[in-house]
Amino acid sequence: MNTNYLTFSYVLITLLLPLASSTNSYHSKQIPAIYVFGDSLVDSGNNNYLPIQSNAKFPPYGIDFDGGKPTGRNTNGKTVVDYLAIHLGLPFVPPYLGLSKAHRNKIITGINFASAGSGILPETNNKTLTLDKQIKLFKRVIKNNLPHMFDEKEKLEKHLSESLFVVSTGVNDNLVNRTFRGSRKFSSYLLKEFSLRLQKIYNLGARRFFMNNIAPLGCFPSFAPRPRPRGECNEKINKAISYYNNCLPNVLQKLQSQLPGFSFIHSDLYESFMYLRENGHKYGILETWKPCCPNNIFGDLQCHPYNATCSNRNTHLFFDDHPSQIANKIYATRCFIEKTICKPSSFKML
Ligand SMILES: *[C@@H]1O[C@H](CO)[C@@H](O)[C@H](O)[C@H]1NC(C)=O
Ligand SMILES: *[C@@H]1O[C@H](CO)[C@@H](O)[C@H](O)[C@H]1NC(C)=O
Ligand SMILES: *[C@@H]1O[C@H](CO)[C@@H](O)[C@H](O)[C@H]1NC(C)=O
């Protein structure tokens, strides 16, 4: 009991307070909006509007989100982008597909285009909003919606150049039918394709980017499976991902040197997971292997609609095959407050 209470207090003090105070003390005016591209780590509900299967629109997803209802987020509560929005003093970033036309014409604090299951390459999952489709939708917003709020071209350009562009993708490209395929050659190809798409977003007016590398998929519940000793990761998968991750900062640096005004924050999502595997217990995360939903590791490892969750969701690193809210929160704190896993290059956002 005492330990739980202490852990809980610790979490409150180290996580909640800095996040809460930061909304006041940090210069939120400098970042007027967050535009989000990517996959399930950051999708805030777009897939709810696509004719594809999405468990995240049913409970128990969203059980710890404000209101306790599913939103389409692939976790029990907030995503990394939700914490980023809180940190910058901005509202949660709504999914593009959930906005009415009238709403799209009014919103100047950012829109989320991310789609769970999508990748960098269109062929990775073309039933989702592929990254290319996401960019097309953003282009549409610039052409049709934002001009309602920015009557002069220069004002719109300024808005875009000051906004933050979160692009969180790449993991799904490594998976075809849940089989891992990340060779070095493939990773190099993927990085090249990623770089091309970042340039497209830049060409539309974006200047400030926030990019994370790929999580250690080999440690995820579906890839660190039962035959291995409990909690061990698939090192082959992690090694392949590390190759991609090691190259990513260079690719971003290159873009920065080539594109005037391009700046980025690189966040080490991989490190965040590895850190929590080792140190999660300091924050009350005691289970770094099993998902919280389904609440057992037998069967198909999918969190189905209305499945029961584990009894204490704050003790699990993984909600399903995605990080739990507490994991996202610790990631956010280490990135935005402690700045241990996020490296700003040239603009002072953090
Ligand atoms: C989507 O992928 C399927 C299978 O690879 C392909 O047959 C189809 O033409 C693609 N659709 C689009 C719109 O690209
Ligand atoms: C993936 O699975 C689907 C359905 O089982 C199959 O049609 C498709 O050929 C598979 N794709 C690859 C690349 O193995
Ligand atoms: C989750 O829900 C599915 C579908 O209703 C069910 O078959 C399965 O047994 C449930 N699993 C758990 C662990 O509750």
CB 149 near ligand 2, within 6 Å: no
Contacts of residue 99, defined as CB under 8 A and 6 or more positions apart, other chains included, come to 107, 111
pLDDT per position as a tens digit, 4-42: 333 333 333 344 434 443 433 334 458 999 999 999 999
Q: Which atom of ligand 1 is nearest to the CA of 127?
A: 1
In the chain the domains, ranked by start, together with CATH numbers, are 3-349 (3.40.50.1110)
The ligand whose atoms approach the alpha carbon of 307 most closely is 3
Q: Give the pLDDT score at 22.
A: 40
CA distances from 194 to 10, 37, 117, 198 (A): 39, 12, 16, 6
Three-state SS annotation for the chain: CHHHHHHHHHHHHHHHHHHHHHHHHCCHHHCCCEEEEECCCCCCCHHHHCCCCCHHHCCCCCCCCCCCCCCCCCCCCCCHHHHHHHHHCCCCCCEHHHCCHHHHCCCCCCCECCCCCCCCCHHHCCCCCCHHHHHHHHHHHHHHHHHHCCCCHHHHHHHHHHCEEEEECCCHHHEECCEECCCHHHHHHHHHHHHHHHHHHHHCCCCEEEEECCCCHHHCCCCCCCCCCCCCCCHHHHHHHHHHHHHHHHHHHHHHHHCCCCEEEEECHHHHHHHHHHHHHHHCCCEEEEECCCCCCCCCCCCCCCCCCCCCHHHEEECCCCECHHHHHHHHHHHHHCCCCEEECCCCCC
pLDDT band at residue 231 under the 50/70/90 scheme: confident
Q: Which residue's CA is minimally distant from atom 5 of ligand 2? A: 177
Q: Which residue's CA is minimally distant from atom 5 of ligand 3? A: 304
Identify the sign of the CA torsion 202, 207, 208, 213.
positive
Separation between Cα atoms, residue 313 and residue 245, nearest integer Å: 29
- Other beta carbons within 10 angstroms of residue 339's beta carbon come to 13
Global confidence as pTM: 0.89
Is pLDDT above 80 for 298? no
pLDDT per position as a tens digit, 207-223: 999 999 999 999 999 88
CB 126 near ligand 1, within 6 Å: yes
Ligand 3: residues within 6 Å at CB?
Answer: 294-296, 304, 307-308
CB 177 near ligand 2, within 6 Å: yes
Determine the distance separating the centroid of ligand 2 and the alpha carbon of 177, expressed in angstroms. Answer: 6
Contacts of residue 25, defined as CB under 8 A and 6 or more positions apart, other chains included, come to none
Mean of the pLDDT values across residues 289-303? Answer: 87
pLDDT per position as a tens digit, 94-113: 999 999 999 999 999 999 99
Q: Give the pLDDT score at 181.
A: 82
Strands 208-212 and 263-267 come out as parallel
Q: Which atom of ligand 3 is nearest to the CA of 307?
A: 1
Q: Give the pLDDT score at 346.
A: 52
Is pLDDT above 90 for 327? yes
Q: Which residue's CA is minimally distant from atom 6 of ligand 2? A: 177
Q: Which atom of ligand 3 is nearest to the CA of 294?
A: 13
Q: Which residue's CA is minimally distant from atom 9 of ligand 1? A: 126
The ligand whose atoms approach the alpha carbon of 129 most closely is 1
Mean of the pLDDT values across residues 147-171? Answer: 97
Residues in the chain: 350
Separation between Cα atoms, residue 82 and residue 93, nearest integer Å: 7
Between 98 and 298, the more confident residue is 98
The ligand whose atoms approach the alpha carbon of 121 most closely is 1
The ligand whose atoms approach the alpha carbon of 303 most closely is 3
- Other beta carbons within 10 angstroms of residue 286's beta carbon come to 13
Percentage of residues of the chain with pLDDT beyond 90: 78
Least confident stretch, 97-101, 119-123, 339-343: 339-343
Determine the distance separating the centroid of ligand 3 and the alpha carbon of 69, expressed in angstroms. Answer: 19
- Show which residues are catalytic: 40, 320, 322
Q: Which residue's CA is minimally distant from atom 2 of ligand 2? A: 177
Q: Which atom of ligand 2 is nearest to the CA of 177?
A: 1
Mean residue pLDDT of the chain comes to: 89
Is pLDDT above 80 for 257? yes
* Pocket perturbation via mutation, ligand 1, pick of 124, 126, 129 by most ligand atoms within 8 A of CB: 126
Q: What's the token pair of residue 350?
A: 């953090």
Determine the distance separating the centroid of ligand 3 and the alpha carbon of 99, expressed in angstroms. Answer: 32
